[in-house]
Structure 1
Amino acid sequence: MMQISNDTVSNKHSLINVMHRFIAAANNMDETIMVPSLLRDVPLEEQQVSHPPEVVENNNEPFPNKQRDMYEHYLLLKSIKNDMEWGLIKREISGGASFLEMAVKQEEQQPVTGGLPGEEGSDLEDQFHYHLRGLFGVLSKLTVQADHLTNRYKREIGGGNFMR
């Protein structure tokens, strides 16, 4: 059985640590949000009265986002956490297709391009580092979003001070 060294786990920049932080934030979100339906129709971003509205060019939103409310965002974060914990096999069994699964299938269908065998190895290394940086960035953003969603939920329901 393969063991993970303490150095890897204690390194805050390790992939394992970043994954654990996201999963912990998603679990905290899931434990805090007792009634997810309260998140329906609550905008993802809070309206800022003090800031002037941003200029929108070409009728595009400044930061387009598919999640229209906090409920959809909550479901997305839970889905990503489940995909990380259970992998793609569970999704295949249930008949759904995750973003990760679609990306893997697309990558498998692309023809392998390369010249010499030595170049292919360095290309794989470059691909690995590119995707690793992307994974770090995405997981860090997802962790922040899960924490933000948890805190917003607490504010929306009164911060838990209703049991005085």
Structure 2
Amino acid sequence: MMQIADSYHQKHSLLHAMNRFIGAVSNMDQTVMVPSLLRDVRLEEEGDGGGLLGAVDRDMFGYYLLLKNIRNDIEWGVLQGDERKKDKLEEGEGQEDLEKLFHYHLCGLHTVLGKLTRKANLLTNRYKEEIGVASWGH
């Protein structure tokens, strides 16, 4: 019984969401052999209005690059780093609410990773349709 409960919680962990996202983007990257074919092709998902990040209007190539860059940032870290955020925390600004702030950002990150994972899977499937190979396995 403990193993089932652990499996349930792991399924909803940030690490699991990150791994699903990385896997979806890696699958997308392996599937898309000619990324330039994605230029000027709109990526629309039901209920999404075509904009993954709100008002941002991208073609499939733009999403392809965005998804790959986010995966690289997760796997290798953000190279430029934002030292100002670190300095604010060290100064004690908002320290009493760190747990609340952590949970807020964790929930947001989990939501965004879920949307990005779906976007990577959608892009992969649309690419297959565009090149006429819709019969590939999912």
* TM-score > 0.5, shorter chain as reference: yes
Q: Specify the alignment match of 1:27 in structure 2.
A: 26
For residues 7 and 13 of structure 2, the distance between their equivalents in structure 1, rounded to whole angstroms, comes to 6
Judge conservation of contact 1:9–1:16 (CA < 8 Å) in 2. no
Q: 1:72 aligns with which of 50, 62, 74?
A: 62
Given the alignment of the two structures, is residue 141 of structure 1 paired with residue 115 of structure 2, yes or no? Answer: yes
Q: Where is the helix percentage greater, Structure 1 or Structure 2?
A: 2
Is 1:113 aligned to 2:93, yes or no?
A: yes
Length, aligned pairs only: 122
1:12 — aligned with what?
11
| 1:157 lines up with 2:128 in the alignment | no
TM-score (structure 2 length as normaliser): 0.76
Match of 1:124 among 98, 112, 118: 98
Q: Counterpart of 1:113 in structure 2: which amino acid?
A: E
Q: After TM superposition, which residue ranges in structure 1, 4 or more long, deviate above 6 angstroms?
A: none
Quick one: distance in 2 between partners of 1:66 and 1:9?
36
Offset of 1:65 from its aligned partner? 1.3
Larger radius of gyration: 1
Q: 1:106 Cα deviation (Å)?
A: 4.3
| Superposed CA offset, 1:84-108 (max 9, x none) | 11112xx34xxxxxxxx3xx43423
Q: Calculate percent identity across the aligned residue pairs.
A: 53
* Alignment partners' CA distance in 1, 2:32 and 2:16: 24
Structure 1 residues not aligned, in runs of 5+: 1-6, 49-53, 55-62, 93-100, 115-119
Q: Which letter maps to 1:139?
A: L
Residue 113 of structure 1: how far off its partner (Å): 3.0
Question: TM-score scaled to structure 1, two decimals?
Answer: 0.65
Structure 2: gaps of 5 or more residues: 1-5
